[in-house]
Amino acid sequence: MASHLVITLSLISYLILFTSPSSSASRIILPSDSQKVSVGLYYESLCPYSANFIINYLDKLFETDLISIVDLKLVPWGNAKLRGNNTFDCQHGPYECLLNTVEACAIDVWPDLSEHFPFINCVETLIYEHKYPQWESCFEKLGLDPNPISDCYSSGHGKELELQYAAETNTLQPPHEYVPWVVVDGEPLYEDYENFLSYICKAYKGTAVSTACSKVSVNTVSGKAKVIHPDCYETRVLALAARIKSAITRWMGQKNMVASM
């Protein structure tokens, strides 16, 4: 499991590598924003499978040069449910609503991925280790000022951010069924989300070829049935029930049609 410190150093090394005018790497043509592969992670903070994906899989983007061809967006809402008067409930209770909002504030306060991802990774590491009440220790560990996050949360701005993430999550097509829900260039990966690096390499059409892609097998990407991984599945159960009901209704309709002939 990569630590938040390793990720932070990796990000700093990446920035130095590709911005230093004296480095030979500065002559590498980086992909434009239009060439980058969009990757969206729709998750909720206290889902253990979301935490596992963030700290044990997603951080691999920063351990290689793959981050240079990816436009990564984190959306901390997940299976939360809207109620009246712009209020909402979270699948794992009020503490998850708190941390979802804190992570939304981090993305807003520090919009650069190299700044908000180490913080989110630190928080999710504590969640993975069942130490999430210690999440505020991430400010000290990373040398971050907690006041902007506190102001964002207490002012109600964090709630507004969460409502925006709710709207974005609820308009996904096809709708998300569980979390983590990983989308690459608009296409959900379903249960094959842990194989997301292969999908990135397959989707990339630019000229700045990633050396990391040469080590990733793209043959595993297919339309066949995927290996089922654990996920926070409240909405998945509802979606499955809806599909079963639809199948039964369709079957009954066909049966009645045959009987009437």
Q: What tokens does 52 get?
A: 């596992």
If one counts every other C-beta atom within 10 angstroms of the C-beta of residue 15, the result is 12
Q: What tokens does 140 get?
A: 């000290």
Residues 56 and 1 sit within 8 Å (Cβ to Cβ): yes
Q: What is the pLDDT of residue 207?
A: 84
Q: What is the pLDDT of residue 214?
A: 83
Q: What is the pLDDT of residue 4?
A: 47
Q: Mean pLDDT in the chain?
A: 82
In the numeric block, the tokens 């002559």 are attached to 27
Banded pLDDT at 55 (limits 50, 70, 90): very high
Helix ranges, the chain (H): 4-19, 48-53, 60-63, 94-109, 113-128, 137-142, 147-154, 157-170, 196-203, 234-260
Dist. CA 248–CA 246, nearest whole Å: 5
Q: Tell me: the pLDDT tens digits for 13-36?
A: 444 443 444 433 333 445 667 789
Per-residue pLDDT at 160 exceeds 70: yes
Contacts 24+ apart (CB under 8 A), 82-85: 82/163, 82/166, 82/170
If one counts every other C-beta atom within 10 angstroms of the C-beta of residue 184, the result is 22
Question: Where are the domains positioned within the chain?
Answer: 4-260
88: β partners:
82
Q: State the distance between the two ends of the chain, measured CA to CA, in whole angstroms.
A: 63
Q: Tell me: the pLDDT tens digits for 78-88?
A: 999 999 899 99
Among the four given CATH numbers 1.10.3720.10, 2.60.40.10, 3.30.360.10, 3.40.30.10, the one describing domain 4-260: 3.40.30.10
Q: What is the pLDDT of residue 250?
A: 55
Q: Tell me: the pLDDT tens digits for 221-261?
A: 444 334 445 679 764 444 444 454 445 555 555 555 555 55
The angle that helices 94-109 and 113-128 make with each other, rounded to 10 degrees, is 160
